[in-house]
Structure 1
């Protein structure tokens, strides 16, 4: 699937069930390198990023097979020299393998990672943390060479990087001694990774706070594990209802704190959650929001920002969104303007004057921006044609089919 044709202004009604979070599943796959025993995951979405990560661990010598939403992995033997760096260049999350490989084998050779072009995402925090743990790192070529089994130490992150926290945590899980990570990221996906490693036999405490303590362990077992649901996909469906109107039920919705829900609710979307079931309803124009600023958890997530931006293009008034994490996150705004959106971007701030959008021919250039264009098209007058859908497939398990089941008129080319 490369293109979508969407006929706008069709209300959404029905039920949808969330699968596991992409941003949880990818580091969990990497963490399987810690153990020689079999691990089985449930609710795993069928995504191109997940498929790429599976291909990578198989290149290392692991056995991995996904059947529907179940994924079985066994890393009985691992050869760090055999990693497929052609795949590494395609997926940012490939870098998660670094910490787990060092914990398991004491060496890793990995190309600088790829991923969406939404701005600079330096790996210096990953590498400085691993150096603090005694790993010798050579960055003189495109292949980053790392040698040395990690040793427990104090690691301080100057910024709460999710990826760096996860990488250091995995390295520390198999290290000699105790590691304490100060300034750690607090995202739910961090706590989920720690929970999984502990199920394997690890000893991690403090995940979800800014200080994480990891007692090194050399023997890990197997596990059956169900990762947390995807909070960004949840926000996508909420944004879709805000734009197209209607009422849906989201099953397996996140039970942890998510500021996105509060922001959409402040715009007038009615969200009622009982346990892991959320009812989402919107019948009229949503209200503008005077200011939203993205920030690390528990703040408003950068991954949900494009979805909110598209929804606010239909608000009854002016809104302002400031993006603090990625300098190129607003690239999709150029495509929204083709749909007659009144949106001005100055640096990292967007001013949005809400109104009515028209269907247009637009192109998705990254994962979340592509999802935002789909959301925008759901409320547009007329027909929208969206290309570049391969970016969206990195993070959504057949989003067009699910939206069609809810009442959207979408055809695939």
Structure 2
């Protein structure tokens, strides 16, 4: 309406801007204030500030995707830099992850050709509880590595019910005796990053680095790949792929002619230099992976896949009559369930908290510091409440995935749904509903 879009950019680098211009008329400031609870004055102030500031970067936080409509939310936000042409400016644009710059040759590692066109059963880990309790035919063995599903997976009570099955043979390969390891028939000791050779990229920066061992293997610890090789041999798989060393696997992964940012990157170069920065050119030189090769504000492909072709508000799924949206957020001193076993990190966090708006607390006669029960049809947990104005009315936010402690109910993922998000098969951790009582 105010002519703050970059029309030249829209014409050259996008498709669908004319359709979008008509489509967004239904999202006037009054309507959006009603949807979001953000005042229309703030919406207008932010829109003008964003349009008139250059360069401007939108940092899309991690977690927004964990809603029923998370994919559409991120798709919508990602369109904004195109409207103002910010992709052309150094420091401009939007970013949720930059990992594609250093995406390696996954096909060489995964070797789908070895399936010889067979299609084995596969399941989404976010629905592990339902898989372990309801899959037909049943899942009879489970090998867990680099994960702690008894704590981190949605519907965690259902996951634990599945892990308790007498007829499920479970092996856990880990550095620590995690909650999941306690359900295992066999626990295998894993090596740490300090004992392995590997390469690392990043979600955000553009550097690839090699990790070389700095300590000897501890006891009988083995890496994931070493265990896979031993299992393959013991089970009689003699394919060459199962005999390849870590160095050979890295060499194959880093041979990736399809990624133009890998111009100077190889296993040999990485061994010599220890770290290498991905090659990056200007936006104009990027080949976008959309069907049109442009930013698709209107996407015919999305329409074919059953989504709205344009950025569209989709309300959260109303799963129950429970009145509060429950967001089990992270805390500062754990990384998911990693470090939650450590006494030092627990002391830094003190105890699990539930943040609640003063308005909701008052209606329930709850005061700051009370112990409260958070519950729904999936389970319940007991947390200390922090009452204030740092969360919206109608929303409660917990902090961190705490390790099991005797006599304490603090398994927040016992409350989370195992529905899948609208795009990408992601979890909907943050779209569950609960009630809170003193």
TM-score interval (norm. to shorter): under 0.3
What TM-score, normalized by structure 2, do the two folds share?
Answer: 0.25
Q: Choose 1 or 2 for highest CA Rg.
A: 2
What TM-score, normalized by structure 1, do the two folds share?
Answer: 0.26
Q: Which has the higher strand share?
A: 1
